[in-house]
Each structure stands twice: as structure tokens, then as C-alpha cells.
Structure 1
Amino acid sequence: MNILQICNKPPFPAVDGGAIAMNNTTQGLLNNGHQVTVLAITTPKHPVVYDNLSKEYLESTNFQSVFIDTSIRLRDAFFNLFTKKSYNIERFISVNFTKQIQKILIKEKFDVIIIESLFVSPYIPTIKSLSKAKVVLRAHNVEHKIWERISKNTKNPIKKKYITLLAKRLKNFEIEVLETIDGIAAMTKVDENDFKNLGFKKKITAIPTGYIINTEEIDNKSVEENSVFHIASMDWLPNIEGVDWFLHNVWPRINKAETNATLYLAGREMPDSYFNLNLPRVRVIGKVKSAKDFYLSKKIMIVPVLSGSGMRIKIIEGMALGKVIISTTIGAEGINCTSGKNIIIADNPEDFAKAVCMCLEDQNYCNEIGNNAKNLIASEYSNDQISKKMILFFEDLKASD
């Protein structure tokens, strides 16, 4: 098959969960003998540096990009209030990106066009006018659901009202998009059911993100005892919300237990306010050179997500590297894991703190859960397995003509 993959950010280098998911899709399709053209939006937060892209990647993907300034502007956000449009989506609309899609589709025919996330779906009418390819939404999240959950957890009444409006408009747009696509590859079964409940009646399946397993990546690096860590892209609101909840509600309990634990906060786009924290035994690292090296150097991984949707790629990464992970139910949503076997689930501050303390005290318990987690990824989430599911879904869509 000849496939066009349209991305809301550069998939490579894979600097965050969304980019990892997109790049793993690209590599899986290429490794199975299919042609892939990658067209990406680049933004101030997600620029593309062509010097960092290998010649092999550029040639194998025919990589192309268009810059869109998606920066949030108070003036634009204010005037958007007097429309019925989603400001989250409007920021990704560009005449130049439309022209690039037209140029590609006039030049070449495709069997399948992957829309990577809701944020590139405004270009579907242009695609449909020029191509007979099957259009598949690769839904990384149910976008409005994230904002509904954030609104539920927001205490400031003015902020809560605005976030509720954003969620409502996103939901309306999401429902409209469902009428224009041929199929959905959702990240999780939960998301699949959500889309069905929104009225989607065409072909849909749940296909999680695969993990490209490297058997040589786990070596005998020394692990810092009594270390707890969080790593994530800190330009995503649910990550900030979860870290704040952990710092204010969970970490004080752990300190009272006199565990001598040290908490490390890492990730790109770390807000300046975190570097000014004056909390006992908290080390703010920010962006790390190698996420895998950072994972492997620390002991206990926390994923305190309170309002996400879709699938946490960082959990898949941590599991593949044999880490013991403590997460909320929402954080682990969509992953076929079992609390107490290959992950630990804790949804309130007391249980979360107890789980961290238990892992600090019992190395055998940590090792057992980490090993079980690694085995889960190897058996169910290898990128080759996941890619074959995606290809079968595309072939089924094509056969439905």
C-alpha cells in the first residue's frame, strides 16, 4: 500500500509520547514493505531540525513539513469566544499546509491517508476533494474528554467555565469529524467505545502504540536507591496537573514516613516555576539527553495522571525497561495491565504514598513487578505485532469498497 501520514508534529526525532506513537507507526509500515510519505506540521513548541534527520529517514519517508505558528494568543482566544469554533483546533489551520496537501495529492495517489490526531482533521475536506484514499483517524485521545476531566478537577470558577466551553466546542467538532472519515484506529478500547457512543458507526478498532524492542538496551546500569521519578512532556496540561497533585498531596506523606527518598522531575518544556520549588528532597532536572538512560538510572516511576485520555506511551516505555510503575487508573487506561502484578494502581494520596513506600522498602517486590511488566510488553506490545494489526485494519477498509 501507498500511505500518506499527516502529523500534527514532527514524528522524528521522537521527543514525546505522541511523536513516539507516530514514528512507530511509520517504522512498522515501512518494515512491512509499504510506502509511507510523512507530512508534518512544525510549530514553535515542536520545530523540525533537518540536520537531526538522517538521510535514510528523509528518503524512506519523503519527509515534508510546513511551519504553523500555533502559539496561544490572548487576543485570538478572546475573539474566538464570540464564535462557535474550537480555539484548540483553529490554531492548526493554515493556507500553506492546505497547499502542501494539494501539491502532494495532485502528484501522487494513495491507498490510505492517516490523520494523526484531531488537530489535522480540518484538512479532511481538502483531502476528500483530491483523493479516493481511505481516510483513517489515528485517534491518540478522545480530545474533548481530556478537557472535561480537567474542568472537573478545576476549582477556579472562571477558569472552570472557560475550560468547560473549550471541552464543549471540541466535542462538537469531534462529532462533526466522525462524519467525514472512513475509519478510526483508536489507542484504547475505552476510546473505541467513546467514539461509538458519540455516534460513529463505520469501521473502528483499538490498536495501541507498539514498542520497538531492543534486547540490548537494558544493561547493568547502577540504579539509585530510594529514587522516585517522573518524566513527561511538561507542555501537556494533564502532566502538570498530575505532578502538582503528587507534590502537594502525596510527597509530604512520603517524607513523613522518613524513607530518605529523592524525587526527580524530568521532561522537556519544564515550567520555570518547578525550578524554583523549595521542597525537601525534590530535584528538578528538566530535559534529559537520553530518556532511556534516565529511566534506567532510577528506581520507582510515577504516573499520577488525573485527566488524560488515550494511552500513556511513557508507561509502555517504562514497562519495557523493567521499571516498577505506580499510576492512577486514568494514567494506566488502555493498557492491559493488572495492579499488583505488572503495575501498581493508586487513586488517592494515601494509597499512592503507601505504594511508593512499599516499593522503597521491598526490592524483591519491585523486581517482580518490573519483570512482569517487561514480559507484558514483549508479549503484547511489540511494534511488529501492532503494525500487523494496523495493516490488517487498512486492508479491511480497502476491501469494503
Structure 2
Amino acid sequence: MKALILSNRVPFPPTSGYPIVVYNTMKGLLNLGAEITLFCINPNSHRVDVDDIYDPVFEQIKFHSFELDTEVNLWDAFFNIFSNDSYNVSRFYDDDAAKMLENLLRETEFDVIQFEGLFVVPYLDTVKQYSNAKLIYRAHNIVFDVWERLANSERFTPRRRYLQFLARRLKTYETEQFNRFHRIFAISEPDRHNILQFGCEIPIDVFPVALDFEKYLIDISKTSFPTLFHIGAMDWRPNKEGLEWFIEEIWPDIEKLNSELRFYIAGKRIQRHFYEYDSENLVIEGEVFDAVEFMNSKAIMIVPLLSGSGMRVKIIEGMAMKKCIIATSFAAEGLNCKNGYDILIADTPDEFYRCILQCLTRPNRWRELGENARKTVERDHDLRGISKRMLNVYTQLVNG
């Protein structure tokens, strides 16, 4: 089976949500004997020096990348208003990148071509023109839904109206793409249901985030208690807004519960104002070298997202590390978990307070939730099982 995967980022190293999903997809398929070619955009905002990649998966695939500046340009954004294009998506398209892809398609015949997310879909016309492969769209989330929720939470009226404009354009573009593929892979059951509601008429399979559990080794002797932690990229606006809400509305009361309690925040591109909060017990770690080791050293994971869709990879990783997860309903969306069994759901300051108090006063409680969380992800997110199912779909498409 020859598969071409199109990605809007270089998934090496796999240290955040999207790269982890793409990386594990390739790893699982390689383990089953598939031949993988990766064509990816290498945007300035997440640029990877390809010469510095040392990874066993990288050594097994055929790799192609195109460096592209996808940063927001005020003039481009302004003139885009007078076009019919979605500015969110069009920033990822370049004629030279399309030509590179065309040359690749002329040289190699693929069985399956998988588009990893909406931001590589602008290359669909090129693929259709130069390949007869079966085409799959992997929906990592419902992209316009994220922007609609961000717009609704924006208080500054001019900015809210512009975000609403972007969300409308994005919705039109996104919903028009679904029926242009042979198959859709949704990342969660709620996303599958939403895609169907948007008029999708082709088969949809649900493939959740897959993890290789050999990577997630727990050493409870290195876990300090009482500790809270949050880990996530702060250049993703839902992470930033949710964390600001938690620190401003909830943390002042939480830190009074125990003088030894510490709240650790880790992630890329943490803005300066997070370092300026007046709290001695709030520790800003910044970007950490090893996210798994960081999670292992802390006890209770806080995920206070107020918007977003798809599936939170960091929650799944936290569950794999037997962490007690306290998260909003938005954050837990798409996960097959049960409140009070393998996760705690909190949507208000009072609910967060009571959940955290429960874990601080009953130390065995957070351990119990963590043990159950590991069982859940082993059941639902095993790399080998998910990869076998995906390869079966590939085979059915090609043979069908």
C-alpha cells in the first residue's frame, strides 16, 4: 500500500497535538508494512530545520517539504475581504508548493492520499488533476467551529465582527469540501455527527488520536503532591483564553487551600503577562524539553478550555500517564470518558474549586482517577489497533 500524507506542519519532533497525530499515523502504518510519503508545508511560525531531524520514522519515509510564510499580513487580510477566499486557509497555498506536489504526483503513483486537516485542502485540485488515488480527508476538528466560539467570546466589537466574518468564510469553505473526497476520517464521534449535519454524503469513519504506550512510562516515585499543572501551546488562542480565565477567576481561591500547593504552567510561546501574575505559588515553566517527564512529575492536570473542537491530545497523553484530569466540557469533547470515573468535569469556578478540593483532601482519589484514565486510553487509543483499522479502510477503498 502506497500512501501519500499531506500535512500543514513538519510532524518532527512530535511534541504537540497535530504533529503527534500525524507522526503516530505514519508510525502505525509503517509498522504494518505500508509505504509512506510525506509532503508537508514548513511554515515560518513552526519552522523545523529538516537537516536536524533524527528520528526512526523519518528514516523510513520519503519526505518532501516546502517552506512558506503563513503569518497574517495586514494588507493581505484587508484585500481578502473583497475576495471569496477564506483567509485562514488561503495563507497555506503557494503556486510553487503546488508545482512541487505536481512533480511528486507525476513521478509516483499512490494508492491513497490523505489530507491531514483543512489547511492542506487548497492542494486538492492539484491532486485531483495529477493522481487517480483514493482521497481521504482527516478532520482533526471542525475548524470554523473554533473560530465561531472565539468570535462569540470576543468583547471588543470590531474584532468580534471580523472574527465572525472569518468564521463565516471558513464555514462556507470547509463544508463545501467534504463531498470532494472518497472518505472522511473524523477524530471523534461528535465531529462525525457534525460533519453529517453539514451535508456530507460520503462514508465517515472515526479514528481517534492513537498513542504508542511504550512511550508513556510512569514512575510514581517522581510525582510530587500537591501539584496542579497545565501544558499547551499558548499561541493557540483557546489555550491562552482558558488559562487566563482559570488564573484570574479560579486560582486566587484555590491557592488558599494549601500553602504548599503549586500550579505549574508549561508550553510554547507563553506570553509575558503570564509571568506577571501576583502569585508565589504559580510557576511558569515555559517550553519543556520532555513533556512526558514533566507530566510524570506533577499530580493533577488542569484543562480549562472555553472553546475549541476535535480532541485534546494533551488530555489523552495525561490519561496515558495516569494523571487526574480536571477539564471543562469543551476540553473533554470527543473523549469516551466518564465524569467521576476517569476524569472530572468542571465548567464553573465553583465546580473547579470543588473538584480540586476533593483531590487535595482525598489523596487516593486522584490516584484512582489516574488509574482508570490509563485503562480508558488503552481501550480507545491503542496505536496498533487503530492503525490496523485504518489500513483496512485503505484496502477496501483501493479494492472497491
- The equivalent of 1:159 in structure 2 is 159
Q: What is the CA deviation profile of residues 90-123 of structure 1, one whole-angstrom value per residue up to 9, with x for unaligned ones? A: 1101112101111110000011101010000000
Query: Counterpart in 1 of 2:93?
Result: 93
8 Å CA contact 1:253–1:350 kept in 2: the answer is no
Letter in 2 for 1:172: T
Shift of 1:172: 0.4
**Partner of 2:248 in structure 1?**
248
Partner of 1:286: 286
- Aligned residues of 1:186 and 1:207 also touching (Cα < 8 A): yes
Read off the aligned partner of 1:365 and give its amino acid letter: R
Which residue matches 1:355? 355
Give the match for residue 3 of structure 1: 3
One-letter code aligned to 2:313: I
**Structure 1 counterpart of 2:322:** 322
Counterpart secondary structure, 2:193:
helix
Count of residues in Structure 1 that have an aligned counterpart in Structure 2:
400
Distance 1:226 1:59, change over 3 A: closer
Q: Structure 2: which amino acid aligns with 1:143?
A: V
Identity, % of aligned positions: 37
Q: 1:216 to 1:268 in 2, by over 3 A?
A: closer
Residue by residue over 1:227-258, the C-alpha shift from the partner in whole angstroms, topping out at 9 and shown as x without a partner, is: 11000111111111110111111112213434
Name the CA distance, whole Å, in 2 between partners of 1:97 and 1:150.
Answer: 31
SS in 2 for 1:184: strand
Give the equivalent residue in structure 1 for 2:257.
257
Aligned to 2:106, the other structure's residue is in SS state helix
Structure 1 partner of 2:106:
106
SS of alignment partner, residue 340 of structure 2 = coil
Task: After superposition, give the CA deviation of every residue in 1:202-246 in whole Å (9 maximum; x if it has no partner).
Answer: 011111011111177222442222211000111111111110111
Find the counterpart in structure 2 of residue 75 from structure 1: 75
Where 1:103 maps in the other structure, the secondary structure is helix
Aligned mates of 1:246, 1:216 — CA distance in 2: 27
1:133 alignment partner AA: A
1:138 counterpart = 2:138: yes
Question: SS of the counterpart of 2:335?
Answer: coil
Residue 147 (structure 1) aligns with: 147
Aligned partners of 1:52 and 1:220: how far apart in 2? 33
Deviations 1:330-351 (A, max 9, x none): 1011111001000001111110
> Match of 1:235, SS?
coil
* CA distance in structure 2 between the aligned counterparts of 1:251 and 1:277, rounded to whole angstroms: 11
Change (3 A) 1:56 1:322: closer
Residue aligned with 1:166, SS: helix
**What residue in structure 2 maps to residue 196 of structure 1?**
196
SS at match of 2:229: strand
**How far apart are the structure 2 equivalents of 1:216 and 1:315?**
13
Query: Contact conserved, 1:249 with 1:349, CA < 8 A, in 2?
Result: yes
Q: Is the 8 A contact 2:102 2:127 kept in 1?
A: yes
Q: CA deviation at 1:185?
A: 0.4
- Aligned residue for 1:185? 185
Q: State whether residues 341 and 372 of structure 1, in contact with CA within 8 Å, keep that contact through their aligned partners in structure 2.
A: yes
1:225·1:298 contact (CA, 8 Å) conserved in 2?
yes
Q: Could you tell me whether the CA contact under 8 Å between 1:243 and 1:304 is conserved in 2?
A: yes
Partner-residue secondary structure (3-state), 1:135: strand
User: In structure 2, what is the equivalent of residue 66 of structure 1?
Assistant: 66
Report the AA paired with residue 127 of structure 1: V
Counterpart of 1:272 in structure 2 is 272
1:298-327: CA deviations, max 9, x gaps?
111011111111000001100001000001
> Tell me, what secondary structure is at the counterpart of 1:12?
coil
Structure 1 alignment gaps of length 5 or more: none
Conserved? CA contact 1:259–1:360, under 8 Å: no
Name the SS of the counterpart of 2:228 in structure 1. Answer: strand
Q: Is the 8 A contact 2:216 2:320 kept in 1?
A: no
**2:22 counterpart of 1:28:** no
How far apart in 2 are the matches of 1:391 and 1:336?
Answer: 23
1:227 is matched by which residue type in structure 2? T
Instruction: Return 79-88 or 306-315, whichever deviates more.
Output: 79-88
CA distance in 2, matches of 1:373, 1:220: 15
State the 1:51 CA deviation: 3.7
Deviations 1:354-388 (A, max 9, x none): 11121122110011000000111112211111111
> Post-superposition shift, 1:59?
3.5
CA distance in 1, matches of 2:216, 2:3: 31
Q: Following TM superposition, by how much is the alpha carbon of 1:396 offset from its aligned partner in structure 2, in angstroms?
A: 2.7
Shift of 1:17: 0.4
- Identify if the C-alpha distance between structure 1 residues 167 and 216 changes in structure 2 by more than 3 Å, giving closer, same or farther: closer
The question of whether the paired residues in 2 share the 8 Å contact of 1:238 and 1:307 is answered with yes
Q: CA 1:155–1:332 in structure 2 vs 1: closer, same or farther (change >3 Å)? A: same
Q: Distance in 1 between matches of 2:279 and 2:157?
A: 28
- The alignment's C-alpha RMSD in Å is 1.5
**Cα offset for 1:55?**
6.5
Moved more, 197-206 or 56-65: 56-65
Give 2:57's aligned residue: 57
The separation in 1 between residues aligned to 2:35 and 2:117, in whole angstroms, is 21
Q: CA deviation at 1:5?
A: 0.4
Q: How far apart are residue 267 of structure 1 and its match?
A: 0.5
For structure 2, which runs of at least 5 residues remain unmatched after alignment?
none
Aligned position for 1:212: 212
Aligned to 1:174: 174
Report runs of 4+ in structure 1 exceeding 4 Å deviation. none
State TM-score, norm by structure 1.
Answer: 0.96
Q: Name the SS for the 2:332 alignment partner.
A: coil
What's the secondary structure of 2:205's corresponding residue? strand
Say whether the 8 Å CA contact 2:6–2:114 is kept in structure 1.
yes
